[in-house]
Structure 1
Amino acid sequence: MDNPLLKNFDTPFQTPPFDKIESEHFMPAIEEAIKEAKQEIEDITSQSTAPTFENTLEAMEFAGEKLSSVTSILFNLNSAETNKKIQEVAREASPILSEFGNDIWQNADLFERVKAVYNQKEQLQLDNEQEMLLTKTYKAFIRNGADLNEKDKARFKEITKKLSQLSLTFGENVLAETNDYELVISDEKDLSGLPDSAIRQAANTAKAKGKEGKWVFTLQAPSFVPFMENGDNRSLREQLYKAYMSKANKNDERDNKAIIQEIVNLRSEKVSLLGYDSYADYVLEERMAESTNKVQAFLDDLLQQALPKAQEEVAEIKAFVKELGDDSDLQRWDWGYYSEKLKKKKYAIDDELLRPYFKLENVLDGVFQSAEKLYDIRFKEVKNIPVYHEDVTTYEVSTTSGEHVAIFYADFHPREGKRGGAWMTTYRDQYRKNGEDNRPLVSNVCNFTPSSPGNPSLLTFNEVTTLFHEFGHALHAMLGKGRYGSLSGANVYWDFVELPSQIFENWCYEKECLDLFAKHYETGEKIPQEYVEKIKASSTYHEAYATVRQVSLALLDMGYFSLDRKEAQNIKDVAEFEGKAMAPTKLFDKVEGTLMSTQFGHIFSGGYASGYYSYKWAEVLDADAFSLFKEKGIFNKEVAQSFKDNILSKGGSEHPMELYKRFRGREPKIEALLERAGLK
């Protein structure tokens, strides 16, 4: 079989040849690439020369390039444009890849060579990046069982393989539950309160599903959120909310509760083999936060600041409901609806007022212009790069002087093959080899309000900030200037990775930035100053409530993964466990049948286990860092250059606190976040 995955990509910038790749190409390519990678490792371990940084650490870093390329394509497709065949391949490949990874990290001969270099690192005169690669690689061997006895090594491998399968199944169940649900409306009066854009989109969805003349709402954010915030029909809001919050919690073949118990148990067992008390202890050893105690203290402090104000916000909404003459008890499916109504009353602003100024193409252009003003890079659409779906647009990124920087894939609208949410990913990280700088292939994948016949895609302000957020991640990946892909771009400590994304959101609130792109899609009129002032004034609206929600999710995450071995084995009831973990943040009574855990992909099928706190942790960093831009000017070249040189281009080549201090001149302070969030 002629397999495009096994050839050198004869495409512009060596991008993946999506137009030639079929699902049946993956397994043969993975098997061949593993064989090739094993030979490269064998070449390292069988050499007669003494171990050096170059012949061992660098050689290992560059081994398995083809395998990395093939698997990045497979798993990115499994998130952005999957189908049953791709899911089957991912299920088949995951345990094989886990086994291969275990074979590498538990290769005694390879570990001996790495250890020999590590033991003489003080005499080697390595630079910061080389020392980080050596330390990180040595630790990775230890953390992946290289020092275990043969019996424990075998069990470690078995657990790793099983966990990779469970994580995939968890995500597939959530995606299937999301795709299968439809709220079909036949009576036009049930659309009362909904904006025209939501009604049009629901009609288009119905038409696409063969239900002409009706309206279909789904659990995808661009459909779900407008209904929950604007739909007057309370019983339908309740129905939609319960459907959303009961994903993979129906005691059927897609139920994730048993999978959660098994994942928690196996992660605990895996790290106990290495001598850790809990999975969180294992994870946080390689984070800025360093320990469960420090994370817990951080979350407790935030909760103490935010909870009283959040309770006031809930009480204010309850009073507002009574003021409107509604005697019903405020329920979770009412929160978004009445919160939006009060926001309109207080600030005379809502999504529908702002949407006309946020045409997707204009917002993307604004993102590009902001990046150019800050970092001297330009974006040019290119149409000869193969894509995996017609929705995807590609751009060449170059410096203002014409030097190639990266390729950027933009994929912005929901579809059945795409999981929910928004993320940045790469098909190739930046690295240097044999004197050549291999530039990255970077992708943003989102689920924004799509266009419809005769109507462009007009974003909510929240979607605007999401685009800036994910593009901040993309800049981190694009602007890498390291030698090693494993340390380049966004390959940093997990609680540092959100700084480049979250800081970029701040520009959305500044008139100087908004004037670059926020113009009425019909008249071309720039967004009025009064609207910008209303955006800013409303930016702290229910921020305490939002903070408590984030803390509640972080507590749930830490609750599962701070368990010791015995506790992890004894989770009898996932719903009961979740209730206890989130109890300190309780603002509403539990809704029967709903559960966060069964759809919490961040920690059970993503990389955020013991790391969900990092969103708030990084907010401290981003608020503190942006305060310097505010002081000097949001497009100040000197500050931007410093942020680029000390943060964006450095990746994970040094400890993040050292990078941050080099940029800011000191460690971060929480005051800027509390002030921005209105929590002081």
Structure 2
Amino acid sequence: MKEFRMPQLHINPALIDWTGHEGLPRFDLVKDEDFAGAFDAAMAKHDAEINDIASDPREPTMENTIIALEIAGDELSRISALFWNKAGAHTNDVIQALEREIAPKMSRHYSKIAMNEALFKRVDDLWEKRESLGLTVEEERVLERHWKGFVRTGAKLPKPEQERLAAINEKLAGLGAKFGQNVLADEKNWQLHLSDEAELAGLPAFLRDAMASAARDHGREDGYVVTLSRSIIEPFLTFSERRDLREQAFKAWTARGANGGETDNLAIVKETLGLRVERAKLLGYDSFAAFKLDNTMAKTPEAVNDLLMAVWEKARNRALEEEASLAGLVAEEGGNHEVMPWDWRFYAERLRHRTFNFSETELKPYLQLEKVIQACFDVAERLFGIRATEVRDVPAYHPDVRVFEIRDEEGALTALFLGDYFARSSKRSGAWMSSFQSQHRLPLKNGKKGEIPIIYNVCNFAKPAAGRPALLSLDDARTLFHEFGHALHGMLSKVTYPSVAGTGVARDFVELPSQLYEHWLTVPEILEKYAVHYETGEPMPKELLEKVLAARTFNAGFATVEFTSSALVDMAFHTRGEVGDPMQVQAEVLDKIGMPQSIVMRHATPHFQHVFSGDGYSAGYYSYMWSEVLDADAFAAFEEAGDAFDPVMARKLKNNIYSVGGSVDPEDAYKAFRGKLPDPQAMLRKKGLAMVEELSGSDA
């Protein structure tokens, strides 16, 4: 594909001067062709701002150095926010070509800043005399973040090593962009068209509707299409009675990024791992994992692996028990085959129906997307005193995107929230939260003081046919609550400096607000109010509600094995030296831990986007479990109070977790909320993996 280049060097004002509703960007005035020249102009302007800070003849102070750095590059930040939103949530050939060009260019730009000796000297001078500056806790955290940021990007290295590190970072940025694009291409290009009724055996009406809609989206006038969007592939694997079709679809789903040709990711993985090792060694670390974990709660690879392996043994044992039960169902039905990965969801659903006497098809009519969104907002209002109001006819980046104002108890606007809920071929898979603008209180060059957060959630739920409500699975509903928990972390932020606002925290702390928020989905009074039948409006029958709550830990072995195996492979990749064959390493790790043949990693290496599409969760996928220890213990505080909406605990939660961002140490933040560090047994109990004799275990 020809690389996209634009010679223009001006900036479309709509990219940087956001004049939409309450300061929202005017997405409708931005064209794809605007970005190339705008990036060049904004980077040049940022360079000039950095040089002004570095060459300031005055003695360095927090104001003329750190605050100046915090607000520098505002135009570049705005352009970047709009561009990376499009790259992830509504991309096209023009954006993808530009992404492959911009990712390494941005890396080169920030490497140049990291290697600015005069600038680092000013930051280093402040760091050396920090104890005499009378800094607040937040100011010291911000200063530390800037100082460590320079050091971790090579500021103390000799010039040749700095230049090599910059080249590595630039190359990694390009590899990460290409990795994600390859996965999206494999997802977009595969489909299984079904038309014969025999091929649809077992598929419920909601899934047939979604597959019919997908068929129209793929240009087919008739029939049904299975896609690799999780909102279709997972229910298809759960309900399809055609084992041959389940196998075909499953193998396509798990082969993303490993199909040979232009979209194959294995060479990218190998090169990425090699460059990460070299990067870590240049910075004085034994491994890339040691480098990444130095700035986290876990601190060391050993601490991470200890946690993962302690959970692994319990999860594997539970999964083998679950597999034996599924094998019993296979035998009952006269099947002459072992339980394979494409069988698990199908037989697990049958086992759940037998054990708890309800199925996903019985539950789904009670989980309307609209009602679950309302439930998210209601919980936030009851816990934190904020209210969401949808505003209509406001242009967003796609017609499906919805815009909400978030106001506090006094009615003051505190945030804007955008919800982008439906799957489409221009959107990468998964679900995530991000921001167009972070909260802060600093004075800006345009005369304004501070900004409210503009936060968005992206999900990939199946879009219903026109006139039909979107119905969610219980896992979908949890995903929506999870991502809104991240959104609240951004929207409730009350800090001074943007670099520590909202989710600007340690990677293994960032999942606490999101995973904790999931708990309120299954609070009985929330389900009773919002789990109502989409046709009759009747609440979920109490008997069904009790069954849903009783089944919360059903299939926990399978889910935990899926996750933990992925986290262990991630750590193995990043604690070794260079890797010759990534798939061989993956196989060795899975063999060593005794991975059941009936389960696969949640994210196999060639499509492990958390780890290889950028390095956000590289040597960090474990953080979901680390945060799960925190979230289970945190929700236990409400259970101990006897009220899921206890106002005292809610206030502590808001003030010490959701509002402080990275302005305080995460351990201090957690202890301020809970009074102690977490009890890991709470997490095992939540998963249903704690042994009876462990239930009275002491705090760790």
Shorter-chain TM-score bucket reads over 0.9
Percent identity of equivalent pairs: 39
Describe how 1:631-646 pairs up with structure 2 within 5 A. Answer: 631-632=640-641, 633-646=643-656
Describe how 1:573-592 pairs up with structure 2 within 5 A. Answer: 573-589=581-597
For the pair 1:149 / 2:158, whether they are aligned, the reply is yes
Match of 2:503 among 460, 484, 490: 490
Return the offset for 1:592: 12
Single out whichever of 249-258 and 579-588 deviates more from structure 2. 579-588
Letter in 1 for 2:127: Y
For the pair 1:191 / 2:204, whether they are aligned, the reply is no
Question: CA–CA distance in 1 between the matches of 2:572 and 2:166?
Answer: 25
Describe how 1:392-431 pairs up with structure 2 within 5 A. Answer: 392-431=401-440
Aligned-partner SS, 2:436: strand
For the pair 1:670 / 2:680, whether they are aligned, the reply is yes
Aligned-partner SS, 2:263: coil
Match of 2:463 among 442, 450, 454: 450
Return the offset for 1:211: 2.3
Return the offset for 1:204: 2.2
Match of 1:462 among 466, 475, 481: 475
For the pair 1:515 / 2:509, whether they are aligned, the reply is no
Per-residue displacement from partner, 1:499-519 (whole Å, max 9, x unpaired)?
000011111111112123111
In 1, are the aligned partners of 2:401 and 2:421 still within 8 Å (CA)? Answer: yes
Question: CA–CA distance in 2 between the matches of 1:281 and 1:17?
Answer: 43
In 2, are the aligned partners of 1:287 and 1:494 still within 8 Å (CA)? Answer: yes
Per-residue displacement from partner, 1:209-255 (whole Å, max 9, x unpaired)?
33223211110112101110010000000000000011111221111
Question: CA–CA distance in 1 between the matches of 2:653 and 2:386?
Answer: 15
For the pair 1:601 / 2:609, whether they are aligned, the reply is yes
Letter in 1 for 2:512: L
Question: CA–CA distance in 1 between the matches of 2:535 and 2:395?
Answer: 32
Return the offset for 1:584: 4.1
Question: CA–CA distance in 2 between the matches of 1:352 and 1:94?
Answer: 43
Single out whichever of 529-538 and 148-157 deviates more from structure 2. 529-538
The aligned residue for residue 647 of structure 1 is 657
Question: CA–CA distance in 2 between the matches of 1:645 and 1:156?
Answer: 39
Match of 2:300 among 291, 296, 307: 291
Per-residue displacement from partner, 1:342-371 (whole Å, max 9, x unpaired)?
111101122211111111111111111111
Return the offset for 1:91: 1.4
Question: CA–CA distance in 1 between the matches of 2:657 and 2:304?
Answer: 23
For the pair 1:33 / 2:5, whether they are aligned, the reply is no
Letter in 2 for 1:110: L
Match of 1:479 among 474, 478, 492: 492
Question: CA–CA distance in 2 between the matches of 1:355 and 1:312?
Answer: 27
Match of 2:141 among 123, 129, 132: 132
In 1, are the aligned partners of 2:215 and 2:221 still within 8 Å (CA)? Answer: yes
Single out whichever of 285-294 and 344-353 deviates more from structure 2. 344-353
Per-residue displacement from partner, 1:300-344 (whole Å, max 9, x unpaired)?
111122221221111121122112221222111111111111111
In 2, are the aligned partners of 1:549 and 1:585 still within 8 Å (CA)? Answer: no
The aligned residue for residue 557 of structure 1 is 570
1:618/1:330 CA distance change after superposition, 3 Å: same
Describe how 1:11-160 pairs up with structure 2 within 5 A. Answer: 11-160=20-169
Per-residue displacement from partner, 1:451-507 (whole Å, max 9, x unpaired)?
213421011111111100000000000000001111000110000000000011111
* Structure 2: 5+ residue stretches without partners: 1-9, 691-700
Single out whichever of 493-502 and 300-309 deviates more from structure 2. 300-309
Question: CA–CA distance in 1 between the matches of 2:617 and 2:349?
Answer: 30
Per-residue displacement from partner, 1:361-407 (whole Å, max 9, x unpaired)?
11111111111111110111112532111000000000121111100
Question: CA–CA distance in 1 between the matches of 2:74 and 2:624?
Answer: 31
Per-residue displacement from partner, 1:112-133 (whole Å, max 9, x unpaired)?
0001111100111101100001
In 2, are the aligned partners of 1:249 and 1:257 still within 8 Å (CA)? Answer: yes
Question: CA–CA distance in 2 between the matches of 1:618 and 1:651?
Answer: 15
Letter in 2 for 1:580: E
1:624/1:120 CA distance change after superposition, 3 Å: same
Q: TM-score, normalised by structure 1?
A: 0.97
Question: CA–CA distance in 2 between the matches of 1:379 and 1:317?
Answer: 44
Per-residue displacement from partner, 1:616-639 (whole Å, max 9, x unpaired)?
111110000001112221111111
Question: CA–CA distance in 1 between the matches of 2:599 and 2:674?
Answer: 45
Question: CA–CA distance in 2 between the matches of 1:441 and 1:476?
Answer: 12
1:521/1:157 CA distance change after superposition, 3 Å: same
The aligned residue for residue 561 of structure 2 is 548
Question: CA–CA distance in 1 between the matches of 2:362 and 2:538?
Answer: 14
Return the offset for 1:207: 2.7
Question: CA–CA distance in 1 between the matches of 2:61 and 2:458?
Answer: 41
For the pair 1:618 / 2:627, whether they are aligned, the reply is yes
Aligned residue pair count = 675
Describe how 1:273-352 pairs up with structure 2 within 5 A. Answer: 273-352=282-361
Question: CA–CA distance in 2 between the matches of 1:290 and 1:5?
Answer: 43
Per-residue displacement from partner, 1:523-571 (whole Å, max 9, x unpaired)?
11112222221111111111122112211000011011111xxx31xx2
Single out whichever of 505-514 and 391-400 deviates more from structure 2. 505-514
The aligned residue for residue 4 of structure 1 is 13
Match of 1:390 among 394, 399, 402: 399
* Structure 1: 5+ residue stretches without partners: none
The aligned residue for residue 696 of structure 2 is none
1:544/1:395 CA distance change after superposition, 3 Å: same
Per-residue displacement from partner, 1:237-282 (whole Å, max 9, x unpaired)?
0000000011111221111000000000001111111111111000
Letter in 2 for 1:534: K
Question: CA–CA distance in 2 between the matches of 1:215 and 1:333?
Answer: 20
Letter in 1 for 2:305: Q
Return the offset for 1:678: 1.2
Q: TM-score, normalised by structure 2?
A: 0.94
For the pair 1:440 / 2:479, whether they are aligned, the reply is no
Question: CA–CA distance in 2 between the matches of 1:445 and 1:338?
Answer: 30
Single out whichever of 640-649 and 344-353 deviates more from structure 2. 344-353
Question: CA–CA distance in 2 between the matches of 1:651 and 1:314?
Answer: 42
Letter in 1 for 2:569: L
Question: CA–CA distance in 2 between the matches of 1:590 and 1:304?
Answer: 16
Return the offset for 1:199: 1.2
For the pair 1:178 / 2:197, whether they are aligned, the reply is no
Question: CA–CA distance in 2 between the matches of 1:355 and 1:304?
Answer: 33
In 2, are the aligned partners of 1:406 and 1:440 still within 8 Å (CA)? Answer: yes
Return the offset for 1:580: 1.0
The aligned residue for residue 371 of structure 1 is 380
In 1, are the aligned partners of 2:193 and 2:223 still within 8 Å (CA)? Answer: yes
Question: CA–CA distance in 2 between the matches of 1:38 and 1:203?
Answer: 51
Describe how 1:158-169 pairs up with structure 2 within 5 A. Answer: 158-169=167-178
Question: CA–CA distance in 2 between the matches of 1:589 and 1:522?
Answer: 42
Letter in 1 for 2:56: Q
1:540/1:263 CA distance change after superposition, 3 Å: same
Question: CA–CA distance in 1 between the matches of 2:283 and 2:250?
Answer: 42
Aligned-partner SS, 2:461: coil
In 1, are the aligned partners of 2:563 and 2:602 still within 8 Å (CA)? Answer: no
Aligned-partner SS, 2:377: helix
For the pair 1:503 / 2:513, whether they are aligned, the reply is no
In 1, are the aligned partners of 2:194 and 2:224 still within 8 Å (CA)? Answer: yes
Return the offset for 1:30: 1.1
Question: CA–CA distance in 1 between the matches of 2:120 and 2:216?
Answer: 59
The aligned residue for residue 549 of structure 2 is 536
